[in-house]
A and B are shown apart, each in its own frame.
Chain A
């Protein structure tokens, strides 16, 4: 079976590396980006099955990044999970209204993230089939 490809965008090295390591253990192919520009470059070059992104990123803000994903040729329908320490209702509303599928507030449980990743990947797979 083809391995699913996930992009993790997070400027905090320890979170980025931890997510990368845990997602690889779930037999996913993982690319990582540490800032918005690096992420846009990867999004324009590759097709991903899922994107996990922080909101406060260097160079390009997370909201703008999600809008870029929605406008991109290869990833316009890719599900997006936003991870952020900004947890006000306004922010969550903004994030979901511009097309992110889910929002997880920091501090977060890795098991919740893994469950949502699995759920979104299987939803995407069943809608593609």
Chain B
């Protein structure tokens, strides 16, 4: 068959079709090989996990203390675990993951045995090696392991990573320091200059909650920070620890140029606020954006200061904006039924939409979290 006899367009189409077939076959082969690789890896991980868990559960963790284990048996156990550790990188990573998992979930004597096993198997060095890695996610992984093993001896290395160029590494270091640096766990609040994302803020909030801090600072002192993301984090922490003494500063924050800070501040005032805060929220209401107005109405419904009820009803009756209507209805629902019955106009005089929203919030299943 002479291809040269065919028109050029046909030859080009044939070449394109051949190329497409080759690419498809190649892609399918890559996908298949990748799946085989993943399955083999999972199988190896499972084998490693089973072998390590059996060894730990049957021998190491069945004792109450490392001192209770006869020397001969201890050496035999450590040899066995050491050989598992050196079997392959998958085994070593699995061993670290399992020991960290035990340390995270157990306290008391088991936690002490896990720490001793971790150190004796020289896995601490393996973890500390990750802190020095050039790959950022290995540094993050190492920090997580150091934090979860409560390895206070590594604090210097962790502190060095609090100045890392990568923000994820820095935030992981801050999180580890909350656990390890009891003297100054919140040092990062004075040093961080870059904006932390919402995710970073929540990550740190979670770390604060898990750190079992003996002393919690007055977070209002960070509300003046030039870094808006740290102000947002401080607001979350003030709410978390119910720091009522921050109320005057919170009210002043309602003048902040950043809408997100005002929004968060309104929410915290709703949670902690008193009558004064409720009146201040009404004062700033006309100047606020639509979203923040809705948030103010929700906050007023949480504070439940009776004199503010009329204001909420006015907003409910005068607005055509559904978000404001919904927030006002939810807020009204937070007040006592008698007050609602007394002040709210006869429902028959309300618009159909207003009646529906009120009915929605009166449903018992919709009341949870509405105010």
A interface majority secondary structure: helix
Q: List, in ascending order, chain A residues with CB within 8 A of B98's CB.
A: 14
Q: When the two chains form their complex, are residues B57 and A17 in contact, meaning their CB atoms are under 8 A apart?
A: yes
**Which of A22, A25, A108, A111 is close to B105, meaning CB atoms less than 8 Å apart?**
A108
Q: When the two chains form their complex, are residues A14 and B101 in contact, meaning their CB atoms are under 8 A apart?
A: yes
A22-B101 contact given A107-B107, A107-B111, A108-B106, CB 8 Å threshold:
no
Q: When the two chains form their complex, are residues A15 and B105 in contact, meaning their CB atoms are under 8 A apart?
A: yes
What 0/1 pattern do residues 97 to 129 of A give for CB contact below 8 A with B? Answer: 000000000111111100000000000000000
B30-48, CB < 8 A from A: none
**Which of B62, B107, B110 is close to A25, meaning CB atoms less than 8 Å apart?**
B62
Q: When the two chains form their complex, are residues A14 and B107 in contact, meaning their CB atoms are under 8 A apart?
A: no
Docked Cα-Cα span, A18 to B110, in Å, equals 11
Q: List, in ascending order, chain A residues with CB within 8 A of B49's CB.
A: 13
Write the chain B residue with the least CB distance to A88: B209
Interface: B283 (CB within 8 A): no
Q: List, in ascending order, chain B residues with CB within 8 A of A12's CB.
A: 101, 105
A107-B53 contact given A14-B98, A21-B62, A25-B62, CB 8 Å threshold:
no
Write the chain B residue with the least CB distance to A109: B108
Going nearest first, the 6 A-B pairs with the smallest beta carbon separation are: A109-B108, A21-B57, A107-B107, A14-B101, A109-B107, A17-B53
| 9 chain-A/chain-B pairs, Cβ below 8 angstroms | A13-B49, A13-B53, A14-B53, A17-B53, A21-B58, A108-B105, A108-B106, A110-B109, A111-B64
Interface: B104 (CB within 8 A): yes
Interface: B102 (CB within 8 A): yes
Write the chain B residue with the least CB distance to A15: B105
**Which of B53, B58, B103, B108 is close to A110, meaning CB atoms less than 8 Å apart?**
B108
Interface: B61 (CB within 8 A): yes
Most B Cβ at <10 Å: residue of A14, A15, A25, A111: A14
Q: When the two chains form their complex, are residues B57 and A109 in contact, meaning their CB atoms are under 8 A apart?
A: no
Docked Cα-Cα span, A25 to B63, in Å, equals 12
**Which of A18, A106, A107, A112 is close to B57, meaning CB atoms less than 8 Å apart?**
A18
B106-145, CB < 8 A from A: 106-111
Chain A residues close to B by CB (< 8 Å): 12-15, 17-18, 21-22, 25, 106-112
Docked Cα-Cα span, A77 to B64, in Å, equals 33
Docked Cα-Cα span, A17 to B102, in Å, equals 11
Docked Cα-Cα span, A78 to B105, in Å, equals 25
Write the chain A residue with the least CB distance to B53: A17
Q: When the two chains form their complex, are residues B101 and A111 in contact, meaning their CB atoms are under 8 A apart?
A: no
Docked Cα-Cα span, A82 to B112, in Å, equals 24
Chain B residues close to A by CB (< 8 Å): 49, 53, 56-58, 61-62, 64, 98, 101-111
Docked Cα-Cα span, A13 to B98, in Å, equals 10
Write the chain A residue with the least CB distance to B56: A18
**Which of A18, A22, A25, A112 is close to B102, meaning CB atoms less than 8 Å apart?**
A18
Report the minimum CB–CB distance from A86 to chain B (whole Å).
11
Docked Cα-Cα span, A22 to B58, in Å, equals 9
Q: When the two chains form their complex, are residues A110 and B106 in contact, meaning their CB atoms are under 8 A apart?
A: yes
Q: List, in ascending order, chain A residues with CB within 8 A of B53's CB.
A: 13-14, 17-18
Write the chain A residue with the least CB distance to B98: A14
Docked Cα-Cα span, A109 to B104, in Å, equals 11
Docked Cα-Cα span, A40 to B53, in Å, equals 26
Docked Cα-Cα span, A107 to B112, in Å, equals 13
Write the chain B residue with the least CB distance to A112: B108
Q: List, in ascending order, chain A residues with CB within 8 A of B64's CB.
A: 111
Q: List, in ascending order, chain B residues with CB within 8 A of A13's CB.
A: 49, 53
Report the minimum CB–CB distance from A8 to chain B (whole Å).
13
Docked Cα-Cα span, A13 to B50, in Å, equals 10
Q: List, in ascending order, chain B residues with CB within 8 A of A18's CB.
A: 53, 56-57, 61, 102
Write the chain A residue with the least CB distance to B49: A13
Given A21-B61, A108-B105, 15 extra CB contacts under 8 A:
A12-B101, A13-B53, A14-B102, A15-B101, A18-B56, A18-B102, A21-B57, A21-B62, A22-B57, A22-B61, A107-B105, A109-B109, A110-B108, A110-B110, A112-B108
Report the minimum CB–CB distance from A43 to chain B (whole Å).
24
Report the minimum CB–CB distance from A14 to chain B (whole Å).
5
Q: List, in ascending order, chain A residues with CB within 8 A of B109's CB.
A: 109-111
Docked Cα-Cα span, A21 to B59, in Å, equals 11
